[in-house]
Structure 1
Amino acid sequence: MKSVLKISDAVVRRLPIYLRFLNELAKNNVLTVSSHDLGQKLDLNPAQIRKDLAYFGEFGKKGIGYDVLFLIEKIRQILKLDRHIAVALVGAGNLGRALCNYNAFLKDTMKIVAVFDASADKVGSNINNLPVEPMEALDSSVKENDIRIGIITVPSHEAQNVANMFVDAGIDAILNFAPINIKVPSHIRVHNADFTTELQSLAYFLD
């Protein structure tokens, strides 16, 4: 049986960086780009860029570089952004509202389609044309809308309970903004976005 190549997290996390820059090139009608140019603009080693992309196929041509539109299409396919991915968000506070209003979600196939909150004061309100639903509706909404990713923007003491609800509803991945490490089954992918930790680590590098 042919073994499946294991792609490191670091490689996967660099792909959206390449995609963002390629999209900018496309907006400026740039047709081709070399790994050297990509490396200079992104402050990355061109050899690393070539190696990252080579995990998924041969996309470049020697002496020419990469066709920008073709590479955009291929990276979107690799990241599964060529299909609709429904996202649910729990926590309709300031951060949750900001994420719902973030226009990047409106321009892509990955969109927040449902928002939930435990506060009676917030349930029934609208954020970017999305009604804030009660937590009791989460399970049925995840199933009805085929929601694959959940975002947690609640206080830390509520985060684990929300994660449990997402898992029970059948979610596949979670983006956690709460400053706490949540525990989920091994088949659930979790990425943490902790502003406090990032700011504190930045402080180390100050003069």
Structure 2
Amino acid sequence: MADIPTATVGRVVTYIRVLEELEAQNVLRASSGELARRAGVTPFQVRKDLTYFGRFGTRGIGYTVAVLRRELLRALGLDQTWNVVIVGMGRLGHAIANYPGASDYQFQNVGLFDVAPDVVGREVRGLTIQHMSQLGPFVASVAGTPRQVDMGLLTVPAEHAQAAAQALVAAGVGGILNFAPVVLQTQDLHLPEAFAAPGRREVTVENVDFLAGMKRLAFYMLGPQAGPAEE
């Protein structure tokens, strides 16, 4: 599969949400125009994005909603279970741990971690919050089992984010979703050889910064000439 632009992946996630809505409404087929209207893009953009993942639909007939949804879920790896640990169980960590929709996309919380004495030991949705010192032993204890940790979510203060990310990587967690308002220094994040695939020790980091989004929104709201450019 060719290198896929990040913007395309983001739009495909939106297409999946649209397809789910259509399926819930018992819609069997949809055109690129209908998908585009609901996703807020152009029909050309829909067709271009989908070509990265295969050949779908029939000219003049459109896409079979259930089939396209299934194939896009498979292409994005959302047809399998991804086990997640959350590091930082403050308000945001609790909110994410309690979010009911993640399991719909096969994301399963398997461990919660913090350092605050008044937080460690509490229970959230059947999981007991553990001390960060137990992160490595916990990840090792579930390695090779159905609860093996795939991803780590960082919801810690900015000044602790890099150290927390390094603790996750040292434990063998190769994917990090960073909610801390700081850019992680990925050049310092390398999986230990014992956990890495041959020749690949890179760690995948995705940053989620809602404040940056608000700043972009403020700029776009200055006027039509400042609107986001198509990618």
Q: In 1, Cα distance between the equivalents of 2:87 and 2:99? A: 16
For the residue of structure 2 that corresponds to 1:71, the secondary structure is: helix
Q: CA offset at residue 206 of structure 1?
A: 4.3
Counterpart of 2:210, as a letter, is: F
Matching residue within 175, 178, 190 for 1:176:
178
Q: In 2, Cα distance between the equivalents of 1:109 and 1:77? A: 12
Write the deviation string for residues 102-132 of structure 1: whole angstroms up to 9, x where unpaired.
1111323112221100111111101122211
Aligned to 1:63: 60
Aligned to 1:106: 103
Q: CA offset at residue 43 of structure 1?
A: 1.6
Q: CA offset at residue 201 of structure 1?
A: 2.7
Q: In 2, Cα distance between the equivalents of 1:46 and 1:191? A: 28
Aligned to 1:73: 70
Q: CA offset at residue 200 of structure 1?
A: 2.6
Write the deviation string for residues 161-182 of structure 1: whole angstroms up to 9, x where unpaired.
1000011111121111111111
Counterpart of 2:27, as a letter, is: V
Q: In 2, Cα distance between the equivalents of 1:141 and 1:33? A: 46
1:6 aligns with 2:8: no
For the residue of structure 2 that corresponds to 1:147, the secondary structure is: coil
Q: CA offset at residue 194 of structure 1?
A: 1.3
Matching residue within 19, 28, 35 for 1:22:
19
Q: In 2, Cα distance between the equivalents of 1:17 and 1:168? A: 33
Write the deviation string for residues 13-62 of structure 1: whole angstroms up to 9, x where unpaired.
11110001100111110001010111112121111111111111111111
Aligned to 1:189: 204
Counterpart of 2:218, as a letter, is: A
Q: In 1, Cα distance between the equivalents of 2:14 and 2:219? A: 25
Q: In 2, Cα distance between the equivalents of 1:200 and 1:50? A: 31
1:199 aligns with 2:199: no
Aligned to 2:33: 36
- Of 7-16 and 69-78, the range deviating more from structure 2: 7-16
1:132 aligns with 2:129: yes
Q: CA offset at residue 142 of structure 1?
A: 2.4
TM-score, structure 2 normalization? 0.84
Percent identity over paired residues: 37
5+ long unaligned stretches in structure 2: 191-201, 223-231
Write the deviation string for residues 77-98 of structure 1: whole angstroms up to 9, x where unpaired.
0111111110111011000000
Counterpart of 2:105, as a letter, is: D
TM-score, structure 1 normalization? 0.93
Q: In 2, Cα distance between the equivalents of 1:15 and 1:59? A: 13
Aligned to 2:79: 82
Matching residue within 133, 155, 158 for 2:157:
155
Q: In 2, Cα distance between the equivalents of 1:198 and 1:10? A: 15
